[in-house]
Amino acid sequence: MILPTRDPRVNVTFTCPNCKQATQVSFDENSQQIACIHCGHTIAIPQEAVLGQQVQRCLVCPSLDLYVRKDFPQRIGIALVAAGIIGSSIAWAYVNVFWTFAILFSSALADLALFAVVGNALMCYRCQAQYRRTEQIDVHGAFNLETHERYRQLAARTGTGELKP
């Protein structure tokens, strides 16, 4: 049995500007364009956008603003917290203080373990493209609310309701 190998190249998950479907494609510094797997729409990659496996700017839109975040599914995190709250509330209703705090602490430990294990992803403020397997992403810094608000206001002024170039 042959197991599929993971593509070691950097990949990007983005919403296609043409068909509005989510797509994920791999690329490297020699790639000249990325294409939507659904409709075939191509986006040219600017020359200085990728150096080795380091992403310098967004490939999907003209934004230079990227930030680092945990590559963790938020639904799983919310489900974990909700399960801890519901479970501890039930234990509290039955006046079982030990189980109340045991459930709360175990859900907090599970969340902390996932936080330690999960890697980082690079995100674009403008189009929300997600870059994985990139190197030296710390040069972009963490989420900045002021930068996010600038792009949110840009989307509101253009009247599109979405962060488009």
State the pTM of this model.
Answer: 0.76
Model confidence band, residue 8 (pLDDT cutoffs 50, 70, 90): low
Sign of CA dihedral 165, 50, 12, 18: positive
What is the pLDDT, as a whole number, of residue 3?
38
The pLDDT > 70 percentage for the chain reads: 91
| pLDDT of 52 above 60 | yes
Domain spans of the chain, in order of start: 11-71+119-158, 74-117
- Checking if the pLDDT of 164 tops 50, the result is no
Length of the chain: 165
Per-residue tokens: 83? 């399960």
